[in-house]
Structure 1
Amino acid sequence: MRLFGFFGGFFCGAAVSTGSCVTALKLYQLETGQEQKGTSEKVPEVREDIGRFGFPVTGAEVRHYANHTLSYDQSKRTPRWVAEHLTNHKLQGNTERKHCRFRPDPAIPACFSATNGDYFRSGWSRGHMAPAGDNKQSERFMADTFLLSNIVPQNYENNAGFWNRLEMYCRDLTKRFQDVWVVSGPLVLPQEVDGKRKVSYQVIGNDGVAVPTHLFKVILVQNNNVSDKAEQSQSPPLALGAFIIPNQPISFERSLTDFQVSLLELEKAAGLTFYPRLPKTSDPASETAGGNSKTRTEQEIKSNNKEVNLNTEQSAADSIPTEFGPPTDLCKVDGCKLMGYKEFTLYLTGRKVGSARSIEKLEKFMSELKDQGIQPDDYLTNLYQQKKEELANKEPPKGKTGV
C-alpha cells in the first residue's frame, strides 16, 4: 500500500494534467476499497436524524371553506391570501349579513388567532378578503366569510369606499365573463424613512394583529364560449389585472388603473406566485403599469404546476385550457371602471333604506341624500315607498302601546 502511495504521488507530480492525477487516485481507491460512498446515500439518514421530532409548522397550508379558500399567516393573525371563483349563478341569492357574526376560526389554533376584542376600539374595521356580498347564495357561504381567518384590519373609509367599489366591480364582471377568479390579501410594504427603506406596521389588540400598509387583488377572467378564431382575436378569453391598494382613504378622483401593477411586481412584493397554471405569458399589465416585462419561463411554469399538483387537489377551475393563450390586460379589455360617486351614493342609500327599522330612520336617509344634492332614481323612489308602507303597518297607532 505504501509503495503504491509513493508511486501515486510521483505520478501526480509528473502528470501533464490534473485529470491524470484524479484518474490515478481513483484507481488507487478502487484497489484499496477506500472509495467514499456518495453523499446521496447518507441523505435519508441525515434527514431522519434532523427531523426526528418534526420540523417547524407554519400553518400556511391551503385551507378550504364553503365558498372560498385561503392560506393563513399565523404570525400576523391574518390571511396571507384568499381565493374565490365567481360566476353570475353563484352570486344569486338573498342571504343577509345581519344574521352573521364575526368570530374566531375554530380551525386556527387559539394562540395564533385574532379575536373580536383585538379590533374593539382599535380604530380599524374588520375587512373581508372574501366579501360577504359574494356569498349570498347560502347562509353557510356567508357565515364562513365572517371567520376572522378571512379578515384584516382595514381603514374604515377604504373598506366602505374604494375597496367596496372594487369588490362590486368584480361581481359586475360576471355579467360579461363566464368565470372570474379573484385572489385578495394584505401586504406590508417598505417605506422610505430618512433616506432608508424600512418595513414598519402597527399591531392591534392583545394578540398583536398586524395592520397591513396595503391590500392586493388579482383578477383573472375567462370566457369559455368564444370559439370563433376571429372573435377570439377581438375578445380575448383570458384577461388579468393586478392591483395594490393603500390601506387608507381613497377619493373618488382616483381610478382603479392608478393602482394597477404588473403581476411580477405584485408577486415579488407578496412572495407569492399567482395562478401558476397560466400558460407562458409576458406580463399583461407591464406596459400599462410601467412594470417589469419579464416573462414566466417554461421551467417556472412546470415547477409551479408540479408544486400545485403535489400539494393541492386539482379541480375543474384549476385546469385552465392552455389553448386560449396568455391573458391580456383586463383594464384594456374591460376598462376597470369603478362605480362613480353619484351611482355609489344611490347604491348605499338603497341599502340603508332597505334595512331601515323605523319611519324616522327612513326619512333621515332620504334627507341625507337630498343634502348631497342627489335626486333619487326610480329604483330608490319605489323602494322608499314600499319600505314606508311596510313600516307604517308595523308601527302601533299613536296613543297605543304594545303589550
Structure 2
Amino acid sequence: MFLRGFVSGTAASTVVFAVIYASVNRKEIYRESDNPSFEDINKLERGREILKYGFPNRGPELMYYTNHVLAYDRAKRTPVWVAEHITAETLKGYASRKYEKFLPDPRIPQMFSAQNSDYQKSGWSRGHMSPAGNHKHSQEAMKDSFFLSNIVPQNFENNAGFWNRLEMYCRDLTKDFQSVRIISGPLVMPYTEEGKKFIKYQIIGDNEVAVPTHLYKIILAERKSQPVAVGVFVIPNQPLDFSHHLSKYQITLHQLESRTGIKFVPNLDLSKTVNLCDIHSCLI
C-alpha cells in the first residue's frame, strides 16, 4: 500500500513538473515528443483549446452531510447512492422528525433539483435513502436527511412496509455488530417484451423526477477481528407483503456493480468477507 502510494505520488509530482516545464519551454517539449509524458502534455494543451469555454460537468462527485454522504444525479433529480455509518451509540438520542420538513437541498442548483410540488398528487411518497430513524443522535443530521437530495419517489406501501422493515433490520444489526455501514439508492431494471429488453421508468412533476423500478441496499456489518459480513439486496419499488423473505432479493455485489456501473467499496477485499445471511438471520 505504501509503495503504491509512493509511486502514485511520484507520478503525480512528475506530471506537475512536466506541466511547469511545458509552460516554460514549449520548444523543448516538441523536441522531446518521443517521451510519452511530453505527448500527454501536448494532449492536455490541445484539450484545453478544445474546451475553451470550460469543462462539462455533472456537479460534485461527493456531497457530505452531518451523518451521510451521497452522489447526486442532476438529470434524474435523485441520489445515485447514499452512504451512512451506524452503531448502537449513534442510534441513541432524542432528535425528532416532527421538527423537520422536506426541503430542496440548497447545495443543488434549482434547475437540477426536485421540489415538493413534484411529489404532490403524484401517487408516490418521498422515500428516504438514509432514513430519519438513523439520525436520532443529532437534530442537524435529522434535518439533513430531509433534503430532497436524499429522497426518491417510492411506493407508499413499500416505504411504510417492507423497506421500513429492512431499515429496522439494519438498526437491529447494531446489537450484534460493532459497526454497520450502509449504501442505498434507486435502480432502474430492464424488462423483457417480445424477446427484447427495455428500460422504462416514470417521471413525476414539472421537474421530471425519475421513479426507480427498484431500490438497492448494501449492508456491511463489522465485528472486531472477524470478516466483514456483506449483504446486497435489490427490492422492487412496489407493495410487498411480509411473507417475502429478505434473502429472496439478495444478489451479489458484483451483480449490482455491473448493473449500476459503480464500484461501491473498492477498498474492501471481497475474498475476505462472508455472506451476511449465512451468519445472521435475514428475517425482517
Question: Is the structural similarity TM-score above 0.5?
Answer: yes
Deviations 1:29-76 (A, max 9, x none): xxxxxx993344522221221222211111251000011000000000
Q: How does 1:46-85 map to 2 (within 5 A)?
A: 46-85=46-85
**Cα displacement (A) at 1:216:** 0.2
Q: Which has the higher contact order (CA 8 A, sep 6+)?
A: 2
Residue 272 of structure 1 corresponds to which residue in structure 2? 262
Q: How does 1:185-204 map to 2 (within 5 A)?
A: 185-204=185-204
SS in 1 for 2:255: helix
Residue 246 of structure 2 corresponds to which residue in structure 1? 256
8 Å Cα contact 1:60/1:74 also seen in 2: no
Residues 204/331 of structure 1: CA separation in 2 closer, same or farther (3 Å cut): same
Number of residues of Structure 1 aligned to a counterpart in Structure 2? 251
SS in 2 for 1:42: helix
**Cα displacement (A) at 1:101:** 0.2
SS in 1 for 2:133: helix
More strand, by proportion: 2
Select the residue among 229, 233, 241 that pairs with 1:243. 233
* Runs of 4+ deviating beyond 3 Å: 35-41
% identity of equivalent residues: 52
Residue 211 of structure 1 corresponds to which residue in structure 2? 211
Return the letter of the residue paired with 2:218. V
Residue 168 of structure 1 corresponds to which residue in structure 2? 168
SS in 2 for 1:241: strand
Determine the C-alpha separation between the residues in 2 that align with 1:212 and 1:40. 41
**Cα displacement (A) at 1:259:** 0.1
Deviations 1:308-336 (A, max 9, x none): xxxxxxxxxxxxxxxxxx11000001121
Which one has a bigger Cα radius of gyration? 1
Determine the C-alpha separation between the residues in 1 that align with 2:231 and 2:32. 55
Return the letter of the residue paired with 1:109. P
Determine the C-alpha separation between the residues in 2 that align with 1:60 and 1:44. 22
Deviations 1:140-174 (A, max 9, x none): 11111000000000000000000000000000001
SS in 1 for 2:163: helix
Determine the C-alpha separation between the residues in 1 that align with 2:94 and 2:246. 29
Is 2:258 aligned against 1:332? no
8 Å Cα contact 1:218/1:241 also seen in 2: yes
For normalisation by structure 2, the TM-score amounts to 0.85
8 Å Cα contact 1:60/1:73 also seen in 2: no
For normalisation by structure 1, the TM-score amounts to 0.61
Determine the C-alpha separation between the residues in 1 that align with 2:92 and 2:279. 25
Deviations 1:212-258 (A, max 9, x none): 0000000001112x4xxxxxxxxx43110101100001111101000
Q: How does 1:4-403 map to 2 (within 5 A)?
A: 37-38=33-34, 39-224=39-224, 226=225, 236-279=226-269, 281-282=270-271, 326-338=272-284
Return the letter of the residue paired with 2:188. V
Return the letter of the residue paired with 1:132. A
Determine the C-alpha separation between the residues in 2 that align with 1:187 and 1:150. 14
Residues 45/86 of structure 1: CA separation in 2 closer, same or farther (3 Å cut): same
Residue 23 of structure 1 corresponds to which residue in structure 2? none
Determine the C-alpha separation between the residues in 2 that align with 1:55 and 1:180. 38
Superposed CA RMSD in Å reads 1.5
Return the letter of the residue paired with 1:82. V
Residue 13 of structure 2 corresponds to which residue in structure 1? none
Return the letter of the residue paired with 1:185. G
Deviations 1:171-217 (A, max 9, x none): 00011111100000000111112221000100000000000000000
Residues 334/113 of structure 1: CA separation in 2 closer, same or farther (3 Å cut): same
Determine the C-alpha separation between the residues in 2 that align with 1:41 and 1:276. 29
More helix, by proportion: 1
Gaps of 5+ in 1: 1-34, 227-235, 283-325, 339-403
Deviations 1:250-287 (A, max 9, x none): 111101000000110011111111111102x34xxxxx
**Cα displacement (A) at 1:98:** 1.2
Deviations 1:345-385 (A, max 9, x none): xxxxxxxxxxxxxxxxxxxxxxxxxxxxxxxxxxxxxxxxx
Return the letter of the residue paired with 1:246. P
